[in-house]
DNA sequence: GGGCCGGCTTAAT
DNA sequence: AATTAAGCCGGCC
C-alpha cells in the first residue's frame, strides 16, 4: 500500500471538511411567527436571505437561489425581535443575488420609519432614477426580505396603498398595526392633498412624516404638489425629504 | 376620474 | 447574445 502524499491529503479533505464549509454553501431555514402569520425564513452565514409566507417555500427558494437548503435548529439571533418590533438591531441581511438597482431601492426603503409611508416615485428619485418609478415596483415585487425590509411602507402617489407580495390587504393591516394614519391619508388624498406644510416653520412634509404630524391644525396647509408648496414659500423638510429631483 | 401610454429594469425566450 | 414582454407605477387625456 502506497503513501502518496497527494492521496492522503485528499483523503484528509474528504474525511474532514473544514468547519463551516457547509454553512457557506447551504442555506438554513426556520419557521417562525410573523405579523401576518407563520413565515419561513432562510438564512446563510452572511445573514437572512429570504422571507416567505404561505405555500411553496422550498420550490420558491430553490428556483431563486439554487442552493441547498437544510432545516436549522433555531432562528438566527435577532430575527424574532426584528419581526416583532421592526427594528433590525444588528440582524445581518444577505442581499447577494440582488442587482445594484434593487439593492439601492431596498436600502432606501429601509430608511422609511415605522408609522410612515413614501411614494414609489420618491424611492425612484432617491436612487437617482426619477423616471424608473415602475421599475421600483418591480424591484419591490421581488423583495427577498419583505417585513424585514419594509416595502409595505411604499405606497402609490395618489394615496392608494398599492400592491404587495403578500397582497394589498396584508399591506394595509401591517401599516395600521404600525400606527400609520391611513384614514387621515385617504381623507387628504380625497382633497388632492399630498403634502402638509407648517406656516410656523415654513417647511413642507409628506403627511406621515413625524414633523407633519406635529403641525397644529391652525398652522397646517395642504398642497397637491411640491411646486405649489414651493411657490407658497415652503421649503422641503430635511427629515422626510419630499423634494428629491427638485429644489433641495 | 378611469384609462392609456410612457419609461425603466429584469426575467424569460 | 439579442429581443420581448411583464411588472407592488405616474401622469396626462
- Domain A182-242 falls in which CATH fold? DNA Methylphosphotriester Repair Domain (3.40.10)
Domain A20-85 has CATH 3.30.160.70: yes
Task: Write the CB contacts of A201 (distance below 8 Å, at least 6 apart in sequence).
Answer: A211
Q: Considering all nucleic acid strands, name the nucleotide whose C1' atom is nearest to the C-alpha of residue A137.
A: C8
CATH 3.40.50.300 correct for A98-180: no
Task: Let me know: does A30 contact A72? Beta carbons within 8 Å.
Answer: yes
pLDDT at A10 over 90: no
The residue from A151, A209, A237, A240 that is catalytic is: A151
Q: Give the rounded distance of the alpha carbon of A164 from its chain centre.
A: 11
Residue A193 pLDDT exceeds 50: yes
Flag whether pLDDT at A2 surpasses 50: no
Domain boundaries, chain A: 20-85, 98-180, 182-242
> How many Å does it take to go from CA A33 to C1' B4?
42
Torsion from C-alpha of A179, A180, A186, A189, nearest 10 degrees: 150
Q: Is A151 a catalytic residue?
A: yes
Residues 6 or more apart from A95 whose CB is under 8 A from it? A103, A106, A144, A145
Q: What is the pLDDT of residues A34-72, one digit of tens each?
A: 999 999 999 999 999 999 999 999 999 999 999 999 999
Q: Does residue A85 lie within 7 Å of nucleic acid chain B, judged by its CB? A: no
CA A151 → C1' C5, Å? 25
For the cut 90, the answer to whether the pLDDT of residue A223 exceeds it is: yes
Q: Sort strands A235-236 and A203-205 into parallel, antiparallel or unpaired.
A: parallel
Asked if strand C comes closer than 7 Å to A135 Cβ, the answer is: yes
d(Cα A240, Cα A224) in Å, to the nearest integer? 17
How much helix, strand and coil, in percent to the nearest 5, is found in chain A?
Answer: 40, 20, 45
A102 touches strand C (CB under 7 A): no
A203, A207, A211, A217 alpha-carbon torsion, rounded to 10°: 80
Amino acid at each position: 500500500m502506497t503513501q502518496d502524499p497527494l492521496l492522503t491529503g485528499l483523503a484528509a479533505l474528504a474525511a474532514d471538511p473544514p468547519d463551516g464549509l457547509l454553512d457557506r454553501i447551504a442555506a438554513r431555514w426556520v419557521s417562525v411567527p410573523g405579523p401576518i402569520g407563520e413565515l419561513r425564513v432562510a438564512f446563510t452565514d452572511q445573514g437572512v436571505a429570504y422571507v416567505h409566507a404561505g405555500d411553496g417555500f422550498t420550490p420558491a427558494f430553490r428556483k431563486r437561489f439554487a442552493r441547498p437548503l437544510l432545516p436549522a435548529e433555531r432562528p438566527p439571533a435577532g430575527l424574532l425581535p426584528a419581526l416583532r418590533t421592526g427594528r433590525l438591531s444588528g440582524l445581518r441581511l444577505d442581499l447577494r443575488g440582488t442587482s445594484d438597482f434593487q439593492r439601492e431601492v431596498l436600502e432606501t426603503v429601509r430608511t422609511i420609519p415605522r408609522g410612515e409611508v413614501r411614494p414609489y416615485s420618491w424611492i425612484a428619485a432617491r436612487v437617482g432614477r426619477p423616471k424608473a418609478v415602475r421599475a421600483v415596483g418591480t424591484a419591490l415585487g421581488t423583495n427577498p426580505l419583505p417585513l424585514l425590509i419594509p416595502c409595505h411602507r411604499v405606497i402609490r402617489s395618489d394615496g392608494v396603498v398599492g400592491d404587495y407580495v403578500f397582497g394589498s390587504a396584508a399591506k394595509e393591516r401591517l401599516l395600521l398595526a404600525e400606527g400609520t394614519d391611513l384614514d387621515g391619508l385617504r381623507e387628504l388624498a380625497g382633497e388632492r392633498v399630498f403634502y402638509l406644510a407648517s406656516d410656523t416653520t415654513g417647511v413642507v412634509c409628506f403627511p406621515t412624516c413625524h414633523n407633519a404630524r406635529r403641525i397644529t391644525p391652525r398652522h397646517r396647509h395642504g398642497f397637491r404638489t411640491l411646486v405649489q408648496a414651493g411657490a407658497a414659500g415652503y421649503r422641503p423638510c430635511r427629515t422626510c425629504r419630499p423634494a428629491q429631483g427638485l429644489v433641495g
